[in-house]
Amino acid sequence: MGYSESRQAIRHRNSMTLKPATRDGRRYVNPVPTQVGGLSLSLKVGPKILFGSAARSPQGPLGPFHTDPKIYATSPETGLRVTWFGHASSLVEIDGVRILIDPVWEERAAPTQWAGPKRFFPAPLALEDLPVVDVVLLSHDHYDHLGAGTVRRLAQMEWQRKARWIAPLGVGAILAEFGVEESRCTELNWTEKVEVGPLTIVALPARHFSGRGLFNRFETLWASFALLGPEYRVYYGADSGEWPGFREIGEGYGPFDLSMLEIGAFDPLWADIHMGPEGAVRSFRALGGHGLLMPVHWGLFDLALHYWTQPIEGVFAVKDLKLWSPVPGSPSEVVRGQEIRSEWWRSGPRGCVFMPRGEAG
C-alpha cells in the first residue's frame, strides 16, 4: 500500500496555501492530498515494464554533446543564460550569480552504478570543467536529482569551496555524509528564503515525496524554488504533480521570465507526483503563462513506461505556447519572448560542440 496521512494532518494541510511544510509524525506532508504508490503500484507496473513495447530508450546513440568551458569566461549578454545538461541538471547564470541545479553526473540514477536507469548520453561537460559556482541547489534527495558521487567530487574541489549548498530540510545530513561541510549548507523550509549576492532564492512547496530507500520516504523535505534577481525571475518546479498552489506562486513571486517544469517520467498511475507534458502546460498557465516554458526532467533516463520522446512531443504540439528547449549542453541566453525549439531528439545529432560567440567554425 502507499502512504496515507492521518486525518489530523489532512485537516491541517487542507488549510494551507503557501506556508511552511509540516510533519505527520516523522513524515513531511504534501500541500494537498497526495497518493504515493507502494507495493500495489509495483505489482501493476512490473508487467508493463517486462512486456511493454514502448521504446523507452533511444534506439541509437545520441550526440555526442560537448560544451566548450571557455564560454563561461564571458558573462551572459542578456544577464540570463542556462545550460541544460539533461534531465533536471542545469547551470543557471542569473544576474551575476551562478547556480548549479540538481547535479547528477553519474552513469546511472540509482543506488548502485551496476544496475538501474542508465544515461542516454554522457554529460556534455566534465564536472571538473564547470566554472566556479556560487550555489549548488538541491530540490530533493532522489537519485536522479542528487548524485552521491557528483556531490562527493564537487565537495572536494578546492576551487568550488566557496559554493553555498542550499537544500530542503533534512537533506543537509545527506550532503554532510557525502563530504559537504555543514557550514556551507543552508536548509530551507517552504516559504523560507536566502540571499546570495543580488539574488533571492525562495523555497516553495511542490507535490512530491522524498527518500533514498524503501523505508525513509517523506523523512526529508522536497521543494521547488523561485530565483528572484533585480532583472530576471526564474521558477524551478523540480518534481511535482499538479496542484492549485501554482497560481499562488505565480501571483506571489512572478511574473517569471523562465519557468522550468518537469514533463517526463509520468504515468496516470502516479499522476499525483509527476505532472507530465499536459500538466506542465496547465501549470505554466496557472503560474501566469508569462515568459518562456523550459521543459526539464526528460531525455536522459528511462524512469517511466512512455516512449522516451513522448514528453517533448507533447509540449511541442501545443499551440500558442512560448517554449524554450535548447540542445543538451548548449549554454543558451534567454531573450524575453524569443523561443528555442531544438529538435535534437528527432535526429540524434552527432558531434555537437558549443563554443563562445566568434569562435565557432
Lowest mean pLDDT, pick from 52-56, 109-113, 139-143, 308-312:
52-56
Round to whole Å and give the CA distance between 296 and 261: 6
Instruction: Reply yes or no on whether the pLDDT at 53 is more than 70.
Output: no
- The stretch 199-223 carries a mean pLDDT of 95
- The stretch 321-337 carries a mean pLDDT of 97
- At 147-164, the pLDDT tens digits run 999 999 999 999 999 999
Instruction: Reply yes or no on whether the pLDDT at 12 is more than 70.
Output: no
Provide the residue type at 268 as one letter. P
Round to whole Å and give the CA distance between 7 and 192: 27
Q: Are strands 27-28 and 332-333 parallel, antiparallel or unpaired?
A: unpaired
Round to whole Å and give the CA distance between 311 and 336: 24
Q: Three-state SS for 223? A: coil
Select from 3.40.50.2300, 3.40.50.300, 3.60.15.10, 3.40.50.1370 the CATH code of 56-354: 3.60.15.10
Round to whole Å and give the CA distance between 240 and 208: 5
Annotated domain spans of the chain: 56-354
Round to whole Å and give the CA distance between 115 and 7: 39
pLDDT of residue 46: 54
pLDDT of residue 48: 57
Q: Are strands 340-341 and 324-325 parallel, antiparallel or unpaired?
A: parallel
More confident residue, 53 or 198: 198
Round to whole Å and give the CA distance between 346 and 313: 9
Round to whole Å and give the CA distance between 20 and 135: 22
The C-alpha cell of 47 is what?
Answer: 508487467
Instruction: Reply yes or no on whether the pLDDT at 192 is more than 80.
Output: yes
- Which of these, 234, 170, 237, 180, lies nearest to 204 by C-alpha position? 237
Round to whole Å and give the CA distance between 21 and 223: 10
The C-alpha cell of 316 is what?
Answer: 511541442
Q: Is the pTM of this model over 0.75?
A: yes
pLDDT of residue 45: 57
Contact call for residues 288 and 254 (beta carbons, < 8 A)? yes
Residues contacting residue 17 through CB under 8 Å, at least 6 positions apart: 245, 248
Tell me the percentage of the chain whose pLDDT exceeds 70. 87
Instruction: Reply yes or no on whether the pLDDT at 221 is more than 70.
Output: yes
Round to whole Å and give the CA distance between 150 and 157: 11
Contact call for residues 260 and 91 (beta carbons, < 8 A)? no
Tell me the percentage of the chain whose pLDDT exceeds 90. 83
Contact call for residues 171 and 141 (beta carbons, < 8 A)? yes
Contact call for residues 162 and 172 (beta carbons, < 8 A)? no
Contact call for residues 42 and 75 (beta carbons, < 8 A)? no
- At 59-98, the pLDDT tens digits run 889 999 999 999 999 999 999 999 999 999 999 999 999 9
Between the CA of residue 258 and those of 22, 82, 102, 262, 284, what are the distances in Å? 29, 10, 17, 13, 10
- The stretch 177-192 carries a mean pLDDT of 97
Instruction: Reply yes or no on whether the pLDDT at 247 is more than 80.
Output: yes
**Confidence band for 214, pLDDT divided at 50, 70 and 90:** confident
pLDDT of residue 215: 86
The C-alpha cell of 60 is what?
Answer: 541509437
Q: What is the mean pLDDT of the chain?
A: 90
Contact call for residues 277 and 284 (beta carbons, < 8 A)? no
pLDDT of residue 3: 47
Lowest mean pLDDT, pick from 29-33, 100-104, 212-216:
212-216
**Confidence band for 356, pLDDT divided at 50, 70 and 90:** very low
Residue 192, number of CB atoms within 10 A of its CB: 17
